[in-house]
Amino acid sequence: MLFEQLASLQTEAVNPSTTEIDLASTKDVVAMLHAEDCTVADAVGLVLDEIAAAVDIVVAGFQRGGRLIYIGAGTSGRLGVVDASEMPPTYGTQPDMVQALIAGGPNAVFRSVEGAEDSPQLAIEALNSISLRPLDVVCGITASGRTPFVLGALQHASTIGCQTILISTNPAEAPLREALAHKALQPIFICPIVGPEPITGSTRMKSGTAQKMVLNMISTASMVRMGKTYGNVMVDLQLTNEKLKERAKRIVMSLAGVDYPEAQRLLEVSHGSVKTAVVMSALNCSQEAADQRLHAVNGFVRAALNP
């Protein structure tokens, strides 16, 4: 049964464009890989409506106090870990707001844990370990669209009332849609069809690139919708290293129109909050007044600056 399932997947098919890649020169090998990669963005472009729908449910979850939970195995799981780990330093989120679970646990980020992806029960246990609740959104990531660990997680999440998302690079056929449907909760399927990999079955390649693009869009668009940017500038970054401290000063200088010493002073007074520093400068107000104004508009700098 599994043999037939895998044989039917587009991501397991032989790519006719690279059948002689082992005979090619080094330059031609990388040219072949580049040519295949160039098709990925177009595939993702065909599922923008589904990505936007996913962003809307993630934001709705955040606004109710819920979390975004990525769950996957192998490369897909690692991509979820990467995306989740970037949210606190980039957008100042709490560490639990966007989380990632990977089959085999944290050690599987660095070393493959064989067999873990085959257990739906392990996925349920992983979700229970973070006290999954109905306000959360669970996003499963699986190139094949059939990984038992991921499907088990989505089925369990649906039964407790969570909204769910499935990211796959194979079509979501009717049996899969039926298996994941639960009462009125219909999952959002995001399936950019990237076709056969340049190295047969190596879904860390085009599939991984497509998944990374989709995750970037979901998390970034959600953060924009949560007021984590002003224009296209990240104004909720955490000043956790020297690079980010200097970036924060540049942002304040640019948005507030002040010089370096004044930007440094504003950030010191605002306890490192770029948002507060910008509002303080623009409205010539105290740190307390700026914070109150931001709080009244749910942290949106543009709204805080407009009466």
Catalytic (active-site) positions: 86, 117
* Rounded (10°) angle between helices 274-283 and 260-269: 110
Q: Are 180 and 120 in contact (CB under 8 A)?
A: no
Nearest residue to 39 via CA among 8, 17, 69: 17
Single-letter amino acid code for the residue at 14? V
Which stretch of DSSP H or E encloses residue 102?
strand 98-102
In a 3-state reduction of DSSP, which class is residue 220? helix
131, exposed or middle or buried, with CB in 10 Å at 0-12, 13-18, 19+?
exposed
Nearest residue to 123 via CA among 101, 141, 106: 101
Nearest residue to 66 via CA among 90, 99, 97: 97
Single-letter amino acid code for the residue at 128? N
For 172, the token pair is 């979501």
